[in-house]
Every structure is written in C-alpha cells, then in structure tokens.
Structure 1
Amino acid sequence: MDIILKPEQEKLILAKVNSGKYTTVDEVIAEALQLLDERDKHYQQWVEDTRKKVAVGLAQLDRGEGIEAQTVINKLKEKVHQAKENK
C-alpha cells in the first residue's frame, strides 16, 4: 500500500523517530493505528452504554417515573453553585 503524507504529517512522524522513542517510521505508524483502534473501541463502548442508559430512562418515563424539567434544572444549578463554593 502506498500512502501520501502531508508535509506536517511527515514532520510529525520524523520528529517521533528523532525523539528516540521510536526506531522506525513503521513503529510510529503502528502505534498510531493501535491508538486509533483503541479510541474507536472506547467510542463504540460509550455509544452502547449510552444507548442502554437512554433505554432505561425511556422505560422509566413510560412508567411515569420522570422528573419535572424545572426540578432537574434547579438541582443542576445547585450542583454548579456548590462546585463553585468548593473551589
């Protein structure tokens, strides 16, 4: 596979090699791809977790267990106020 890098990408890769942390360009690219894969997996897990939480929340609303919007807003304002005081 042939790839064309932008000049700034090439400079970044070469800077990583020149730093001594990596011995070859291939190592830098392999590490970058591994990190990309890990990020994508974490994101996918976040999406799945969020969907589950939304489903739970919707089920609670269907059962009439919701909270009035103004109550939620007031609680959030109080948390922000407390956080500011605790700084």
Structure 2
Amino acid sequence: MSISLTPKEESFIETKLQTGKYHSVEEVLEIALKLLDEYDRSETEWVEEVCEKIDAAIEILEHTAPMDGETFVNQILDHFQQQRQVQK
C-alpha cells in the first residue's frame, strides 16, 4: 500500500521522530492506527450506551402518567434549586 501525506502530516511525524520517543515512521503510524481503532470502539460503545439509556427512558415513559409541560419545567427548576442549596 502506498499513502500520500500532506506537508502538515509529514511535519507532524517528523516532529514526533525528533523527540526520540519513536524510532520510525512505521512506529508512529502503528500507534496512530491503534489509537484510531480504540477511538472507534469507544465511540461505538458510547452510542450503544446512549441507545440503552434511551430505551430505558422510553420504557419508563410507557409506565408513567403523562405530565403537562408547565409541571415538567417546574419540577426541573425545583430540582436545580435543591441541588444549588445542597452545594452551598
């Protein structure tokens, strides 16, 4: 495989090599690819967690009596005011 790097990317890699922490371009790229893989897995896990939380919230809503908007907002405001008082 052959890849082309922008001057900025080449400079970045050269800077990393000059620190002495990395011994080759291949090592820098290997680490970068591992980090990209970790990032992708982390993002996937985050999306799955959010979907689970949404599903749980929907389940709760299906078993909760409806509430008008004004009551809902007032409850949120009361909750925040209570949290402020606890923090003081």
Same fold? TM cut 0.5: yes
The aligned runs of 1:3-82 (5 Å cut-off) are 3-64=3-64, 68-70=71-73, 71-76=75-80, 79=83, 81=84
Distance in structure 1 (CA, Å) of the matches to 2:11 and 2:85: 47
Root mean square deviation, CA, Å? 2.3
Deviation, structure 1 residue 74: 4.0
Deviation, structure 1 residue 30: 0.3
Identity between Structure 1 and Structure 2 (%): 31
Q: Aligned letter for 1:27?
A: E
Distance in structure 1 (CA, Å) of the matches to 2:34 and 2:47: 20
Change (3 A) 1:12 1:82: farther
Larger of the two Rg values belongs to structure: 2
My pick for the range that moved more, 42-51 or 65-74, is 65-74
Unaligned 5+ runs, structure 1: none
Contact 1:17 1:25 in 2 (8 A): yes
Q: Residues 19-45 of structure 1: CA distance to partner in whole angstroms, max 9, x if unpaired?
A: 101000000000000000001101100
TM-score when scaled to structure 1? 0.81
TM-score when scaled to structure 2? 0.80
